[in-house]
A and B are shown apart, each in its own frame.
Chain A
Amino acid sequence: MRYVKLPQENFEEFFNSLKKWGKVYAPVKKGNIYSFQHVEKPSEIAFDYTRTMLPPKKFFVRPKDEMLRLKGGKWEESDGVEPIVLFGVHSCDIHGLEILDKVYLDEPVDPYYKKRRENSIIIGMSCMPDEYCFCKSLGTDFAMHGFDLFLHELPDGWLVRVGSVKGHEIAWENEELFEELTEEDMRNFREFEEKRANSFKKHLNKEGLEDMLDLAFNSPVWKKYEKICLGCGNCNMVCPTCRCYEVCDLWMNAYEAVRVRRYDSCFMESHGLVAGGHNFRPTRLDRFRHRYYCKSYFDPSAGFNCVGCGRCDEFCPAKIEHVKVLDEVREGLQ
């Protein structure tokens, strides 16, 4: 990895140089909610944001996405992609994208996702955890890959990690904006990371988590939460690793139809419904439990399907807490 320093006084110029790589999206505050929005200048960016409501997946797996367009009885691929720069992506969300990559870039490759991924630049940014974060427990609090540049906050600028060839190119073209790191920068970086590591309030006990959950299939805890959960599916929408989608064809006019996919949620009754009305997950209990199984599934090559971003807690209208549910299930077993 290459490490350089971006002094604060050079930040604006660096930011402006990003525009040539694509439309720049960064976290912006609107009311109490942060979201990735198109930004023109650094003053629009919420540098101290905690988490956006929708994770960066919205750029690659869009909430509603046109795949094909029917013209003269033939499907045509929908329009091309625009290059984008995602600025300020936190480490957990970078891990989230890598989990999505596993699914969508695995054979057969999802062409829409791939094109968008190839046309995007990911610029990471360091953060401080709030009461919802538990990425440290899952080892997703630091990203070693999956970004082009990663900016770590220093008192007088940024320590920049260069993580890809594209990242090198950006750094190369802006060579005059960067400086070599000093001993002091390194010390500040370490201090920041230490302070950050000590600021986590939430911890997930992931020891034997998959087995523990599997054994707890009939735990009364699921039944307790079945009654509290509203079945709204918010937790799915905001999760950086949830990516179920539904497909349908829509007619635009008498001659043109489009095939669109949109986010689906395993909390919806229709998720497991097949012809003839048979439902493979008929009750809220089945669906609630399924989500925890899916999120806590451990893939040897990609880790858990949860990166500890805390979105599902923050945006759950029933105030259900992911870690608390898992802890209760574990306690119930002992």
Chain B
Amino acid sequence: MTFQTHDARILEVKELTSREKLFTLRFVDPEVNRSFKYKPGQFVIVDIRGFGEFPISLCSTPTREGYFQLCVRRVGRMTKYMHTLKEGDIVGIRGPYGNGFPMEKMEGSTLVLVAGGLGMAPLRSVLWYALDTGKYEKIYLFYGTKAYEDILFRDEVIHLLKHGEDMNCHVKLAYEVETPSCIYLEKGYSPRVCKGVVTDLFRGETFDVENTYALICGPPVMYKYVIKELLDRKLSPGRIYMTLERRMRCGVGKCGHCIVGTSTSIKYVCKDGPVFTYWDALSTRGLI
């Protein structure tokens, strides 16, 4: 049934930061587990029975089967409850929903991933997918974070700062709050690690615009500025993908909450998105 969720067991809970936890899950029913296929950029609805439902991006990659991961920031009632859950606990899951990034279409191209804060979660799925399949020319990750303590998947990011070049993966990190750990990172990896905002990471970078796609996810204010950097570098709007957030209840185009646009173009972020191109943003007012 459309709104019934499937039991999923929490295999592992990992504290990523003081606000974010990474949950690794598997469906209890092996058949559901086998048939659960998803694309980077898609999301699921988590059902905490008796509390409610909320949408969360899949941050693992479909190339690694048998489990999936959700990175949940504690912001309110339900996510707070989610944070109290332990290994072995059960939650309900329905999905995957949304269109996801067109990974196949982008094969052979360079990917520029631009993440701000929690935007790292869905882009991690893309990053791993690209690394696992090896089907992409080059991968850039521009990641803007508030402070060292807020870097999501810190081990992975630092590992890629160190060894990413061998895999054609170039990581750049911008932080806003100066702490000893950041200064230490900056010493080691300057100019790839610097104080500033994510758009500062574009300085000095040019892309082969014929063969590059940009994928953006971050807080609402970020999009305009990042898109400007990309357009300044002559990237076509059709090569700029972004994943967006809205209040979501149903996830499947019924509840009306995620409707954006005007009389000429109405879109549901949950089913027409959450991944859109900049062309969509130009023709759908209120998208970004």
Interface residues of A (CB under 8 A from B): 67-68, 70, 73, 75, 77, 103-104, 106, 108-111, 209-211, 213-214, 217, 243-249, 251, 257, 259, 261, 264, 266, 271-276, 278, 280, 292-294, 296-298
Instruction: Judge whether B162 is part of the interface by a CB distance below 8 angstroms.
Output: no
CB-CB < 8 A to B261: which residues of A?
A: 293, 297
Q: Dominant SS at the B interface? A: loop
Contact of A67 among B3, B245, B259, B260 (CB under 8 A): B3
CB-CB < 8 A to A214: which residues of B?
A: 262-264, 285
Query: Is B249 touching A77 in the complex (CB atoms < 8 A)?
Result: no
Tell me the bound Cα distance from A67 to B259 in angstroms: 23
Tell me the bound Cα distance from A141 to B65 in angstroms: 55
Tell me the bound Cα distance from A67 to B253 in angstroms: 17
User: In angstroms, how far is the closest chain A Cβ from the Cβ of B11?
Assistant: 19
Query: Is B49 touching A70 in the complex (CB atoms < 8 A)?
Result: yes
CB-CB < 8 A to A298: which residues of B?
A: 263-264
Query: Is B2 touching A110 in the complex (CB atoms < 8 A)?
Result: yes
Closest A residue by C-beta to B221: A278
Interface residues as binary, B246-288 with A (CB distance below 8 Å gives 1, 0 otherwise): 1101101111110111111010000000000000000001100
Instruction: Judge whether B76 is part of the interface by a CB distance below 8 angstroms.
Output: yes
Query: Is A249 touching B51 in the complex (CB atoms < 8 A)?
Result: yes
Tell me the bound Cα distance from A259 to B266 in angstroms: 29
Query: Is A111 touching B246 in the complex (CB atoms < 8 A)?
Result: no
Contact of A210 among B245, B263, B286 (CB under 8 A): B263
CB-CB < 8 A to B259: which residues of A?
A: 294
User: In angstroms, how far is the closest chain A Cβ from the Cβ of B47?
Assistant: 8
Instruction: Judge whether B17 is part of the interface by a CB distance below 8 angstroms.
Output: no
Query: Is B257 touching A264 in the complex (CB atoms < 8 A)?
Result: yes
Instruction: Judge whether B191 is part of the interface by a CB distance below 8 angstroms.
Output: no
Q: Which of the listed residues B52, B256, B285 has the most CB atoms from chain A within 10 Å of its own CB? A: B256
Closest B residue by C-beta to A275: B75
User: In angstroms, how far is the closest chain B Cβ from the Cβ of A147?
Assistant: 24
Tell me the bound Cα distance from A70 to B49 in angstroms: 7
Query: Is A249 touching B52 in the complex (CB atoms < 8 A)?
Result: yes
Instruction: Judge whether B133 is part of the interface by a CB distance below 8 angstroms.
Output: no
Tell me the bound Cα distance from A9 to B89 in angstroms: 67
Closest A residue by C-beta to B79: A275
CB-CB < 8 A to B49: which residues of A?
A: 70, 73, 75, 249, 257
Tell me the bound Cα distance from A214 to B284 in angstroms: 10
CB-CB < 8 A to B220: which residues of A?
A: 278, 280
7 contacts between A and B (CB under 8 A): A110-B2, A210-B263, A211-B264, A217-B285, A244-B255, A264-B255, A297-B262
Query: Is A293 touching B262 in the complex (CB atoms < 8 A)?
Result: yes
CB-CB < 8 A to A73: which residues of B?
A: 49, 90
User: In angstroms, how far is the closest chain A Cβ from the Cβ of B288?
Assistant: 10
Query: Is A245 touching B256 in the complex (CB atoms < 8 A)?
Result: yes
Query: Is B247 touching A70 in the complex (CB atoms < 8 A)?
Result: no
User: What's the A-B contact tally at a CB cutoff of 8 Å?
Assistant: 109
Instruction: Judge whether B5 is part of the interface by a CB distance below 8 angstroms.
Output: yes
What 4 pairs between A and B have smallest CB-CB spacing?
Answer: A244-B256, A210-B263, A275-B75, A257-B50
Tell me the bound Cα distance from A309 to B5 in angstroms: 38
Instruction: Judge whether B18 is part of the interface by a CB distance below 8 angstroms.
Output: no
CB-CB < 8 A to A271: which residues of B?
A: 247, 257
- Given A246-B249, A246-B255, A280-B260, output 12 extra A-B contacts at Cβ < 8 Å: A73-B49, A111-B2, A111-B3, A217-B262, A217-B285, A244-B255, A246-B257, A249-B51, A249-B52, A257-B49, A280-B286, A292-B263
User: In angstroms, how far is the closest chain A Cβ from the Cβ of B55?
Assistant: 10
Instruction: Judge whether B53 is part of the interface by a CB distance below 8 angstroms.
Output: yes
Tell me the bound Cα distance from A247 to B247 in angstroms: 12
CB-CB < 8 A to B3: which residues of A?
A: 67-68, 111, 259
Tell me the bound Cα distance from A70 to B50 in angstroms: 7
User: In angstroms, how far is the closest chain A Cβ from the Cβ of B73?
Assistant: 8
Query: Is A247 touching B52 in the complex (CB atoms < 8 A)?
Result: yes
Query: Is A272 touching B264 in the complex (CB atoms < 8 A)?
Result: no
Contact of B266 among A68, A247, A249, A294 (CB under 8 A): A294
Query: Is B263 touching A245 in the complex (CB atoms < 8 A)?
Result: no
Query: Is A75 touching B2 in the complex (CB atoms < 8 A)?
Result: no
Contact of B255 among A245, A273, A293 (CB under 8 A): A245
Tell me the bound Cα distance from A233 to B82 in angstroms: 33
Instruction: Judge whether B4 is part of the interface by a CB distance below 8 angstroms.
Output: yes
Query: Is B255 touching A104 in the complex (CB atoms < 8 A)?
Result: no
CB-CB < 8 A to A296: which residues of B?
A: 263
CB-CB < 8 A to A68: which residues of B?
A: 3-4
Tell me the bound Cα distance from A213 to B264 in angstroms: 8
With contacts A73-B49, A110-B254, A214-B262 taken as known, whether A245 is within 8 angstroms of B247 at the C-beta atoms is no
Closest A residue by C-beta to B256: A244
Query: Is B266 touching A297 in the complex (CB atoms < 8 A)?
Result: yes
With contacts A251-B50, A293-B261 taken as known, whether A109 is within 8 angstroms of B247 at the C-beta atoms is no
Query: Is A106 touching B286 in the complex (CB atoms < 8 A)?
Result: no
Tell me the bound Cα distance from A246 to B254 in angstroms: 10
Closest A residue by C-beta to B220: A278
Instruction: Judge whether B92 is part of the interface by a CB distance below 8 angstroms.
Output: yes
Closest B residue by C-beta to A305: B266
User: In angstroms, how far is the closest chain A Cβ from the Cβ of B38?
Assistant: 16
User: In angstroms, how far is the closest chain A Cβ from the Cβ of B221?
Assistant: 9
With contacts A257-B50, A293-B261 taken as known, whether A108 is within 8 angstroms of B2 at the C-beta atoms is yes
Contact of A75 among B79, B90, B92 (CB under 8 A): B92
With contacts A73-B49, A214-B285, A276-B75 taken as known, whether A111 is within 8 angstroms of B263 at the C-beta atoms is no
